[in-house]
Amino acid sequence: GSGMDCAVIPLKRHKDYLLIQTVDFFYPMVNDPELLGRIALANVLSDVYAVGVTQFDTVEMIVSTSTSFSEKERDVVIGLVMKGFQNSLKANGYRNTPLIIRQLKINPWCIIGGIATSVCRSEEIILPSNAQPGDVLVLTKPLGGQMAMDAHLWQLNQTEKYKKLLSECSDDDIKETFEIAVKSMTYLNKNAALLMHKYQAHCATDITGFGLLGHANNLAQFQKEKVLFQINKLPIIKNVLKFSTLVGQSTKFRSGRSVETSGGLLICLPADAADKFCRDFEEATNGEQKSFQIGHVTAANESDAVLCEDVEFIEVSL
């Protein structure tokens, strides 16, 4: 269905199995090719994690190189992107998962992405349609990664926006914010997906291009029951809200609509499981990542997601 992060297709010839598949791309937002590859992997796999699936039959990487690259630049840059992608796959327990370089095309722009495929039994999947009134909304990564990356590039290029940041922030502030974003954006949503099963999550989605509120609204529309997702907290990477204010881009952050890349999972959990999920999540990540209870689910006449008027902004360091 249109509310799903990935395709879930029953296999006619194998009645007990389903094909889970996602395709995802983004444009480079950082000038380190190896780091870009690590972020790309986390971003590609995230849509499958959103339905609770953590095993993959194939992972394919797709890279479109820029026509502005020389042949030597293309070989070096794409080689490093592939290295980051592949090393992250191995480091996260997928050493035996086949990795395919699907195609290399030359475009005016460099585009990084891939395809993740899994064949599963129905019990391995948590369909995104069973939110219940009383559920707690949990988010597994802070917001603001894209802005943190932008600020880093402004700093490197000494842009006018960088000069605006310096009116209230230091180079060390920009560096610290960038490092927090890297830590978050390269982290796979695998542990969150595993814990979704342990604590019987009712549904989830991953937060990317439509922002938190956009994806929450899409998820709410997909529910079997009429529900309202009420969001009362916005966890944001340290300094990002200040950065966005200084460059005149805070409206999207304050309205919960900031564009994200490789964001966290937004999960609907039974109320009595939310605290345990957050505790186990921090333990599973060795304290390097945090999850946040950001709202709750209520019954409604029409399904929707809203940001509460008295929303609390939480500054996050990792």
CA 155 – CA 136 distance, rounded (Å): 39
Tell me: pLDDT of 2 over 50: no
Report the topology of domain 7-124.
60s Ribosomal Protein L30; Chain: A; (3.30.1330)
Specify the domain boundaries for CATH 3.30.1330.10 within the chain.
Answer: 7-124
Is 219 buried (19+), middle (13-18) or exposed (0-12) by CB count in 10 A? buried
Burial of 295 (0-12, 13-18, 19+ CB in 10 A): buried
Q: Give the list of residues 6+ apart from residue 194 with CB closer than 8 angstroms, or none.
A: 54, 284
Q: What is the pLDDT of residues 153-167, one digit of tens each?
A: 999 999 999 999 999
Domain 136-316 CATH class label: alpha beta
Q: How confident is the model at residue 3 (pLDDT cuts 50, 70, 90)?
A: low
The pLDDT of 10-29, averaged and rounded, is 91
Percent of the chain with pLDDT over 90: 89
For residue 198, the model assigns a pLDDT of 98
Residue 212 has pLDDT above 60, yes or no: yes
The model's pLDDT over 79-113, given as tens digits with 9 standing for 90+, comes to 999 999 999 999 999 999 999 987 677 788 889 99
Q: Which residue has the tokens 């809200």?
A: 241
pLDDT (mean) for 180-204: 98
- pLDDT greater than 60 at residue 1: no
Q: Please report the beta strands in the chain, taking only residues with DSSP state E, as ranges in sequence order.
A: 7-10, 17-26, 58-66, 99-107, 111-121, 136-139, 203-206, 227-237, 265-269, 292-299, 304-316
**Structural Rg of the chain based on CA atoms:** 19
Whether the predicted pLDDT of 13 surpasses 90: no
Q: What is the mean pLDDT of residues 210-217?
A: 97
% of the chain at pLDDT higher than 70: 98
Residue 12: count other Cβ atoms within 10 Å of its Cβ: 6
The set of residues, in sequence order, having a beta carbon less than 8 Å from that of 305 and lying 6+ positions away, is 213, 216, 217, 219, 220, 228, 229, 230, 231
What does the CA dihedral 283, 266, 295, 288 come to, rounded to 10 degrees?
30
Give me the phi and psi of 157, to 5 degrees please. -95, 0
Tens digits of per-residue pLDDT, 254-285?
A: 999 999 999 999 999 999 999 999 999 999 99
Residue among 142, 131, 140, 143 nearest 271 (CA): 131
Helix (DSSP H) and strand (DSSP E) numbers for the chain? 10, 11
Tokens of 41: 């992997």
Instruction: Centre a 10 Å sphere on the Cβ of residue 300 and count the other Cβ atoms it contains.
Output: 17
Q: Which residues contact 105 (CB under 8 A, 6 or more apart)?
A: 64, 65
Confirm if 231 and 295 have CB atoms less than 8 A apart: yes
Summarised one tens digit per residue, pLDDT across range 46-88 is 999 999 999 999 999 999 888 899 999 999 999 999 999 999 9
Q: Which residue has the tokens 């050493």?
A: 95
Q: Where in the chain is the domain with CATH 3.90.650.10?
A: 136-316
Structure confidence by residue, pLDDT tens digits, 216-231? 999 999 999 999 999 9
pLDDT digits (tens, 9 = 90+) for 116-146: 999 999 999 999 999 999 999 999 999 999 9
Output the CA torsion 225→230→181→147 (10° steps). 110
Tell me the residue ranges of DSSP E strands in 34-98.
58-66
Is the pLDDT reported for residue 240 higher than 50? Answer: yes
Query: Do 195 and 277 form a contact (C-beta atoms < 8 A)?
Result: yes
Q: Grade residue 43 by pLDDT with cuts at 50, 70 and 90.
A: very high
pTM recorded for the entire structure: 0.96
